[in-house]
Amino acid sequence: MGLAPVFDTRARLLVLGSFPGAASLQAAQYYAHPRNAFWPVMGALLDECDMRARPYEERLQTLRRHRIALWDAVAACQREGSLDTAIEAAEPSDLGELVARLPTLRAIACNGALAHKQTLLALPGTELPVLRLPSTSPAHAGLGLADKIDAWRKALAPYL
């Protein structure tokens, strides 16, 4: 099983990962791997200094304050290690139920290809924009941090 969704019902943006990696599951925290760029990317987008250095609950409060919800597209799966390519028997999260609880939601941002694919399967015909963003995972080292920040900023600027 993955992690519970983090949200405030006033959220305008829902960020979906695929499924938590081993470090995140062990810590019971989203994006706990020290080389995952998620928290630095969000800090840059939200003009919040050094998000990774903050206590975890404070990071979540920062997302809520900026009207950003956080969850994963896969609720449960079989996987050895932390790579998305190793995910088997994926059980989707109930994205429809969460989206219904977010009346001011304007877009869904998918952190990587698998999150995007699973979201489109879970929400066929949604009128919300479903954006595929470069993965912040350290396994996707083709883009550096500055390029990831730039891509996320360009895609999400209308929704932040």
Q: What is the pLDDT of residues 23-55, one digit of tens each?
A: 898 999 999 999 999 999 999 999 998 899 999
Which residue is it, tokens 């998620």? 38
Spell out the alpha helix ranges (H) of 2-141: 22-27, 38-46, 56-65, 95-100, 113-122
Q: Which residues of the chain have pLDDT under 50?
A: none
The one catalytic residue in 36, 82, 111, 136 is 36
111 is catalytic: no
Pairing of strands 13-17, 68-72: parallel
Q: Helix, strand, coil % (nearest 5) of the chain?
A: 40, 20, 40
Q: Delimit the domains of the chain by residue range.
A: 13-159
CATH 3.20.20.70 is right for the domain spanning 13-159: no
Query: Model-level pTM?
Result: 0.93
